[in-house]
Chains A and B, each alone.
Chain A
Amino acid sequence: MLSIRNLHANVAGKEILKGINLEVGAGEVHAIMGPNGSGKSSLASVLAGREEYEVTEGEVIFNGKDLLDMAPEIRAREGVFLAFQYPVEIPGVSNINFLKTAVNDVRGHHGLPPLTPKEFLQLTREKQKLVEFDAKLVNRSLNEGFSGGEKKRNEILQLAMLEPKLSILDETDSGLDIDALRIVSAGVNKLRSKDNAFVLITHYQRLLNYIVPDFVHVLWNGKIIKTGTKELALELEEKGYDWLKQESVALDN
């Protein structure tokens, strides 16, 4: 589904991704871990097409198409979803109106007619139940005055509504209490299928107890320095990242 080859990227003239290679297949869940500043969120931003990031080398193929050649909204319509670490507030824009615009834009891209208001409301109700989202928040302004946890849960509702092929969750677990984490994870687990894939960016092994990954990658200094299975996450929890950094430096030399 997603094939990242030798990806290099700069932000403000500084190289932050230094040759990322990653293959994500349909039905898989990948976790990307690593210390602060290692480039995890930058990778998510580059994949979503944030303008400040300049790709200097490498390629990203998504379902046979050159992802880097697409505008951010086209990437989204093709099925790339980024659950933001810090979802922005947009005052006055109702959550429901925003969702309707987004859902219909994605449908239009695939040659589908817009949903009727009735169909749309039905879909919203269904998804909102699936991810246990507070119905009251659906009619509020987009993320305005939402708590940190509510914002994160709103990301998952959007994910459920848009049914993307590839979902990148950028530290969705940060700032969540244990109950919210459980609800968010349960939502993601319900949305998993053999046709879609998830990339979880996280600091903590804790999330991976709820959403069990097929692969765990460690990102450091703009590169993936180690790949393993869920056991690797447990090892990291116990030993930290330093031993891997040393290994990596030794290898480079």
Chain B
Amino acid sequence: MAKSDDEILEKLATQDYEYGFVTDIDMEIAKVGLNEDTIRFISGKKEEPEWMLEWRLKGYLSYQKLQMPTWQYFEMPPIDFQGISYYAAPKTKKKFESLDEVDPELLATFAKLGIPLNEQKQLAGVAVDAVFDSVSVATTYKGKLKELGIIFCSMSEAIREHPDLVRKYLGSVVPHTDNIFSALNGAVFSDGSFVYIPKGVRCPMELSTYFRINTENTGQFERTLIIADEGSYVSYLEGCTAPQRDENQLHAAVVEMIALDNAEIKYSTVQNWYPGDKEGKGGIYNFVTKRGACRGVNSKISWTQVETGSAITWKYPSVILQGDNSVGEFYSVAVTKNKQIADTGTKMTHIGRNTRSRIISKGISAGNGQNSYRGLVSLGTKADNSRNFTQCDSLLIGDRCGAHTFPYIESKNPTAKLEHEATTSKIGEDQIFYLNQRGIDTEQAVALIVNGYAREVLDNLPMEFAVEAQKLLSLTLEGSVG
């Protein structure tokens, strides 16, 4: 019959997180602490031009002026910014001419995570940039992409090789002054991915970055910049994991995207950082700023996220709809269990005419998990005939979890059309019994029901990712029902 709660919780804490291992590799780690010297050290390590160092120092200045946010629906844990090391990189050659030169230990790590980097075994149809702690270790399919004029490389390389593009767009969507985490990221970001799709090019494969935190007592601060030039299209995937540790580790990334006239960017995330144990000990603090700007007419930016990891997720992938007829989308599934907290949602800022946005948010709370949807839909005076549709659903599993919804709407335009739908439901005993009665056990039944509930979002993921996400949802909730 039903297993006891303790047994189930035990199972959750010990079995669920498959990626908690540590790679033993020689690392070069910056001295703990944050000051101008730290920033000069990082910039120096990366042999950056002077303008980049200046840009970083401006970020540091903003960071010093900004306060921690106070509006989130959870108690902000104290984060000791001086107790973190801001740079950790495997001690190997700075630049790899080919994959043969990459430390086999690193290749093995990524292989273990299901991300083969070897030429023979590379994922078909997916180009991968693998980031280990502070640096990008490999980018696959670069040659093939280059033929089309597509630039897909690490941010460090982009700063060296494509300074014009970087200078033009970096910080143009998420400025230093946006929030304390984006300011911090600006000051200390160590790597990340850079994508440029030239005019009229439809990127023929999925571009993907896989982030791995390995070293203890470090933070990960990556910066991603994606530019889709006129009439181009790209689909980008992001995955991440981290070892199981007792301390909390900070991940403060910034993603900026720019879509010019008639361009489309689709960004998908499956976030699976270490969530901490059943008592809420350890886990990643995921404080991320993601924003896209639909600068051009008829442009489109779509965010899809499946958030299952991290002790705290604080993340609002947003779209600024500047170009007339531009479209912004946000599809999200966020799962919290044990003592996980997710405060996530989106901002859709309608500026241009006939702009449209669509928000589908599905929160799933189990155990003592707390899940908040926070959304801001704003329509400016010039955003004539603009529309937003928001649907946010919450699913509760058990009676100790919580679901909260904070939808804000600001309309300055009388022609705007806004729709908001929200539901909260408990996973029904009746539904589980129905599936039991057909021979399906309770854990599988919950997985089916949850996947069904999240389907509208999962359907937006690229194929390879959808299967992964489905498995992850089942795994994450394994044992959540007694």
Contacts and interface: CB of A to CB of B under 8 A. Distances in A.
Nearest to B459: A92
Interface string B1-15: 110000000000000
Nearest to B428: A88
Contacts of A219: none
B118 interface: no
Interface in A199-223: none
A77 interface: yes
Contacts of A106: 439
A163 to B, nearest CB: 12
Interface stretch (B27-35, B125-133, B265-273, B440-448): B440-448
A106 B448 CA distance: 16
B455 A92 contact: yes
Interface of A: 48-51, 71-73, 75-77, 81-82, 84, 87-88, 90-94, 97-98, 101-102, 105-106, 109, 141-142, 158, 162
Majority SS at the chain B contact face? helix
B452 A101 contact: no
Contact of B440 (A48, A81, A105): A105
A181 B428 CA distance: 29
Nearest to A78: B439
Given A72-B433, A72-B437, A73-B437, 13 more contacts: A51-B429, A71-B441, A73-B439, A88-B428, A88-B430, A88-B431, A90-B434, A93-B449, A93-B451, A101-B448, A102-B439, A158-B438, A162-B438
12 contacts: A48-B433, A49-B436, A72-B437, A73-B439, A73-B440, A76-B437, A88-B430, A93-B452, A93-B455, A97-B448, A158-B438, A162-B438
B453 interface: yes
B439 A92 contact: no
A105 B454 CA distance: 23
Interface string B440-482: 1110100011011111100000000000000000000000000
A12 B437 CA distance: 22
Given A51-B433, A72-B433, A98-B448, A92 B453 contact: yes
B201 interface: no
B52 interface: no
A253 B433 CA distance: 40
B394 to A, nearest CB: 14
A115 to B, nearest CB: 14
A77 B438 CA distance: 7
A72 B440 CA distance: 9
Nearest to B453: A92
A155 B429 CA distance: 19
Interface residues of B, number: 25
Contacts of A92: 451-456
Contact of A101 (B428, B444, B454): B444
Interface in B410-445: 428-431, 433-442, 444
Contacts of B451: 92-93
Contact of B434 (A81, A87, A101): A87
A98 B438 CA distance: 9
A94 B455 CA distance: 10
A145 B445 CA distance: 20
Contacts of B428: 88
Contacts, number: 79
Contacts of A162: 438-439
Contacts of B456: 92
B448 A76 contact: no
A76 B438 CA distance: 6
Q: Which of B428, B433, B453 has the most CB of A within 10 A?
A: B433
B448 A93 contact: yes
A101 B444 CA distance: 9
Contacts of A84: 434, 437
Contacts of A158: 438
Nearest to B442: A73
Contacts of A94: 452
A106 B452 CA distance: 21
Q: Which of B2, B430, B442, B454 has the most CB of A within 10 A?
A: B430
Contacts of A102: 435, 438-440
B436 A72 contact: yes
A91 B438 contact: no
Interface in B321-351: none
Given A73-B441, A98-B448, A91 B436 contact: no
Nearest to B393: A91
Interface string B380-395: 0000000000000000
Nearest to A94: B452
Interface in B15-63: none
Contact of A109 (B431, B439, B452): B439
A141 B436 contact: no
Given A92-B453, A101-B448, A76 B431 contact: no
A68 B449 CA distance: 26
A91 B452 contact: yes
Contact of A73 (B430, B436, B448, B455): B436
Contacts of B455: 92-93
A159 to B, nearest CB: 10
